[in-house]
């Protein structure tokens, strides 16, 4: 169930309360992805983000990394559904910064504004998915919920809902989409040709058996 709601109020914890929660969190961790409290009160840790993207992403090649302008060395492809990535962040990092870091980590050239981070949680035997505001702090949400992804998990999706806003994409991105569609069309056409060729072969074999002089 997808729900839209206002940002939940951030409860400001004292340094001692944060320390106690981190100790409790680390005692429950089973994958060694623990949190660390620094002397300045900022803590660091890990979050896992599941990718649920419906449209292709544009990835820079090694030759075009670091360039600002669109390059022919960019490739668009569909990311496998359910792909999970792990990020090391701090308690000061916002949702927008997490999205930018996630895209940068995998050299995604698409505009970060096209994406949104969602939280998925279980309440009363139901699963709720809620879009987070850009200013929320994912690591704080992770700390409060505990390390179990069954209680809270993060999901990256396209920001737009409903009709696709094609005008938000650059010309190289649109050209890449067309190339992908052409490839998919050719692949499907080849599958159909192979299927009918197999049928034709079986029919011809059957006919030879019927017409064979007995």
Per-residue model confidence as pLDDT tens digits over 10-40: 567 788 999 999 999 999 998 889 999 999 9
Q: Is 192 inside a domain boundary?
A: yes
Return left, alpha or beta for 146; rule: phi > 0 is left, psi -120 to 50 is alpha, else beta: left
Q: Is 1 inside a domain boundary?
A: no
Q: Which residues pair with 48 in a beta bridge?
A: 86
Count of the separate structural domains present in the chain: 2
- Same-domain status, 32 and 117: yes
pLDDT band at residue 129 under the 50/70/90 scheme: confident
- Same-domain status, 19 and 91: yes
Q: Is 6 inside a domain boundary?
A: no
How far apart CA 5 and CA 96 sit, in angstroms, is 18
Q: Is the pLDDT of residue 86 over 90?
A: yes
User: For the chain, what is the mean pLDDT?
Assistant: 81
- Same-domain status, 68 and 118: yes
Q: Is 91 inside a domain boundary?
A: yes
Q: Is 2 inside a domain boundary?
A: no
Beta-carbon count within 10 A of 154 CB: 23
- What is the share, in percent, of the chain residues with pLDDT greater than 90? 31
Kindly state the helix (H) or strand (E) to which residue 130 belongs, with its residue range: strand 126-131
- Same-domain status, 115 and 175: no
- Same-domain status, 136 and 176: no
Q: Is the pLDDT of residue 143 over 80?
A: yes
Work out whether the CA dihedral 132, 96, 152, 105 comes out positive or negative. Answer: positive
Residue where a domain terminates, one of 145, 161, 177: 161
- Same-domain status, 187 and 138: no
- Same-domain status, 203 and 120: no
Closest CA to 37 of 64, 69, 11, 15: 15
Q: Is 7 inside a domain boundary?
A: no
pLDDT band at residue 9 under the 50/70/90 scheme: low
- Same-domain status, 125 and 61: yes
- Same-domain status, 51 and 18: yes
Under DSSP, the state recorded for 65 is T
- Same-domain status, 37 and 142: yes
- Same-domain status, 80 and 35: yes
Distance separating the N- and C-terminal Cα atoms of the chain: 67
- 3-class secondary structure, 43: strand
pLDDT digits (tens, 9 = 90+) for 155-168: 998 875 554 556 66
Domain of residue 99, CATH code: 3.10.20.90
Q: Is 46 inside a domain boundary?
A: yes
Residues of the domain holding 92? 13-161
Helices in the chain by DSSP H: which ranges? 15-28, 95-105, 138-145, 171-211
Q: Which residues pair with 152 in a beta bridge?
A: 121
Q: Is 3 inside a domain boundary?
A: no
- Tell me the average pLDDT across 81-95: 91
- Same-domain status, 115 and 100: yes
């Amino acid at each position: 169930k997808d729900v839209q709601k206002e940002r939940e109020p951030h409860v400001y914890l004292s340094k001692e309360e944060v320390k106690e929660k981190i100790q409790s969190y680390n005692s429950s961790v089973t994958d060694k992805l623990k949190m660390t409290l620094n002397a300045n009160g900022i803590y660091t840790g890990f979050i896992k983000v599941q990718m649920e993207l419906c449209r292709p992403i544009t990835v820079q090649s090694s030759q075009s990394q670091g360039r600002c302008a669109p390059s022919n060395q960019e490739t668009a492809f569909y990311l496998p559904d359910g792909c999970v990535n792990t990020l090391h962040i701090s308690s000061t990092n916002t949702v927008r910064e997490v999205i930018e870091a996630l895209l940068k980590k995998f050299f995604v050239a698409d505009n970060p504004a096209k994406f949104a981070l969602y939280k998925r949680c279980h309440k009363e035997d139901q699963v709720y998915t809620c879009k987070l505001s850009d200013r929320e702090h994912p690591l704080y949400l992770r700390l409060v919920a505990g390390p179990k992804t069954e209680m809270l998990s993060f999901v990256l999706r396209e920001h737009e809902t409903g009709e696709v806003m094609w005008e938000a994409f650059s010309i190289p991105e649109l050209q890449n989409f067309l190339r992908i569609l052409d490839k998919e069309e050719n692949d499907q056409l080849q599958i159909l040709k192979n299927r009918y060729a197999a049928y034709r072969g079986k029919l011809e074999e059957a006919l030879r058996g019927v017409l064979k002089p007995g």
